[in-house]
């Protein structure tokens, strides 16, 4: 197959990742976490889309994650379009909006739809599978990728491949839901494939086929794109139009109904990293089957996964156990019960527990801050400002602040003064002064902030100027 035009990757990254709590939070879900290596799952997805076969990506995400997406793209030196969903309407409307966006700008283009939180171990085999599917996609097929199973898993949907359409591509006989263990074993014997949730198709062909089953979804997608606004480099979808879209997954909306579905059987070390047990499976293990991250000691233990971003964590005499340690939460589970972490997450959420929403580290468009200590009249924060970024020009009614630079260079506005601070230098900002912090340098700026006063909430901020339009 000779591919004449590169494929436009579309990465959907709006999920919450509740099964990977407490590392994954609603404000910082699993796709943005470095679970396996130094890159986040989102960044790993971007990495395997490099090369002449692909263009710059289109990212579809919720507006809550816009600066996380932007920051991680910038860290990799990658550009792209970022579409902001005003509300979550499931995968069908998100993909439809992306297709409408692509078709409006590149008529007839092929797009590759990928979840942002999946793992692919063999990138070359992945790209070969994409190239095999591109021919069928160019002919108007809605192509998906079926993983060749290595075990009768009950956590995946399955695809029954049918007649051969071309080399390495088959028609889809049917999609089936997640089976029980006995049915899964039968599916494997009968040549079924795992449903990976990845798709390849021409944007115009996809929209035409979707319109035959869900015309309201297509109409809403096109209207949301037509009424979209450019906002600080983001494409903000029209909220009223997008809200009219039926809330359905792409599987229910289209894939289980269309006669144009095709599947590429493939094996490239794929995992949806759906729970802590799958993280263990994908991680390097020692001779006793243990995998760990952070400061961990394992004695007389086997087949365990331990991850700590906090204190030293020691396991003695444990088997088949998952232990996840964060600054504000610890989760311990049997590895075969890892799916039930979602139930714990949902229970905590029902009680409005803060640990399901955010961690002690809070991300902002300019970087992040992390609470180190908190008392009745003081708070200590570590603040990291990315190169070239600046906080808003602001003041506080109830607190004074003391900043100490521990890395990089800071440009500080204090009322009518502008002051350069370098490592080991500090400045006092009295209550009520108008101030701003800027990183003018080429490396991250890190400061320690000590707040003191009668009220230390984040809502005690009066903004006068802000490059992120928060005034």
pLDDT tens string 13-34: 977 778 999 999 888 899 999 8
Closest CA to 51 of 135, 130, 117: 130
CATH architecture under which domain 361-465 falls: Sandwich (2.60)
Contact (Cβ atoms closer than 8 angstroms) between residue 393 and residue 435: yes
Question: Quick one: fold of 8-271?
Answer: Spore Coat Polysaccharide Biosynthesis Protein SpsA; Chain A (3.90.550)
**What are the domain boundaries of the chain?**
8-271, 276-350, 361-465
Instruction: Give SS3 for 285.
Output: coil
- Model confidence at 458: pLDDT above 50: yes
Distance from C-alpha of 110 to C-alpha of 200, rounded to nearest angstrom? 7
DSSP alpha helix (H) spans, 272-392? 276-282, 341-350
Q: Choose among 11, 122, 165: nearest CA to 73.
A: 11
Q: What is the DSSP letter of 51?
A: S
pLDDT at position 363 is 81
Give the containing element (helix H, strand E) for 211. helix 203-213
Average pLDDT over residues 82-97: 95
* Mean residue pLDDT across the chain: 94
Locus of tokens 């972490």:
341
pLDDT, one tens digit per residue, over 257-277 is 999 999 999 999 999 898 999
Measured between alpha carbons, how far is 351 from 172 in angstroms, rounded to an integer? 44
- Residues 314 and 299: beta-carbon distance below 8 Å: yes
Element containing residue 175 per DSSP (H, E): strand 169-176
| Overall average pLDDT of the 200-228 stretch | 98
What per-residue confidence (pLDDT) applies to 309?
87
How many other CB atoms are there within 10 angstroms of residue 402's CB atom?
16
Shortest CA distance to 280 belongs to which of 254, 306, 247? 306
């Amino acid at each position: 197959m000779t591919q004449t035009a590169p494929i436009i990757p579309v990465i959907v990254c709006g999920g919450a990742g509740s099964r990977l709590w407490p590392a994954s939070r609603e404000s910082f879900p699993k796709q943005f976490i470095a679970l396996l290596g130094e890159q986040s799952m989102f960044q790993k997805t971007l990495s395997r889309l490099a090369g002449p076969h692909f263009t710059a990506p289109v990212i579809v995400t919720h507006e809550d994650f816009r600066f996380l997406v932007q920051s991680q793209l910038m860290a990799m030196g990658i550009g792209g379009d970022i579409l902001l969903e005003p509300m979550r309407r499931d995968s069908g409307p998100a993909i439809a909006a992306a297709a409408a966006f692509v078709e409006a700008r590149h008529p007839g283009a092929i797009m590759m739809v990928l979840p942002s939180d999946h793992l692919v171990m063999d990138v070359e085999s992945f790209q070969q599978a994409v190239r095999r599917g591109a021919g069928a996609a160019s002919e108007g097929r809605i192509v998906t990728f079926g993983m060749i199973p290595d075990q009768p898993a009950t956590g995946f949907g399955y695809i029954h491949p049918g007649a051969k359409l071309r080399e390495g591509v088959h028609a889809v006989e049917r999609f089936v839901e997640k089976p029980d263990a006995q049915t899964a074993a039968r599916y494997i014997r009968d040549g079924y494939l795992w449903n990976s949730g990845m798709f390849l198709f021409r944007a115009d062909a996809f929209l035409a086929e979707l319109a035959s089953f869900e015309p309201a979804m297509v109409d809403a997608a096109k209207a949301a794109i037509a009424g979209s606004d450019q906002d600080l480099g983001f494409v903000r979808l029209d909220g009223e139009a997008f809200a009219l879209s039926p809330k359905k997954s792409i599987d229910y909306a289209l894939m289980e109904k269309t006669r144009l579905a095709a599947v590429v059987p493939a094996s490239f070390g794929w995992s949806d990293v759906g729970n802590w047990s799958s993280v263990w499976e994908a991680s390097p293990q020692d001779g006793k089957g243990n995998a760990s991250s952070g400061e961990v000691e394992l004695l007389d233990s086997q087949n365990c996964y331990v991850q700590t971003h906090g204190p030293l964590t020691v396991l003695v005499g444990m088997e088949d156990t998952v232990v996840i340690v964060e600054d504000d939460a610890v989760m311990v589970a049997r590895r075969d019960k890892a799916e039930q972490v979602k139930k714990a997450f949902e229970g905590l959420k029902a009680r409005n527990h803060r640990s399901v929403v955010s961690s002690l580290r809070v991300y902002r468009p300019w970087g992040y801050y992390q609470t180190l200590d908190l008392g009745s009249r003081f708070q200590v924060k570590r603040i990291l400002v990315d190169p070239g970024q600046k906080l808003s020009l602001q003041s506080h009614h109830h607190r004074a602040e003391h900043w100490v630079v521990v890395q990089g260079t800071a440009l500080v506005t204090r009322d009518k003064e502008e002051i350069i601070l370098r490592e080991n230098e500090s400045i006092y900002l009295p209550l009520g002064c108008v101030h701003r912090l800027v990183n003018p340098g080429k490396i991250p700026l890190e400061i320690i902030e000590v707040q003191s006063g009668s009220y230390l909430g984040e809502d005690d901020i009066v903004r006068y100027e802000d490059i992120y339009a928060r005034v």
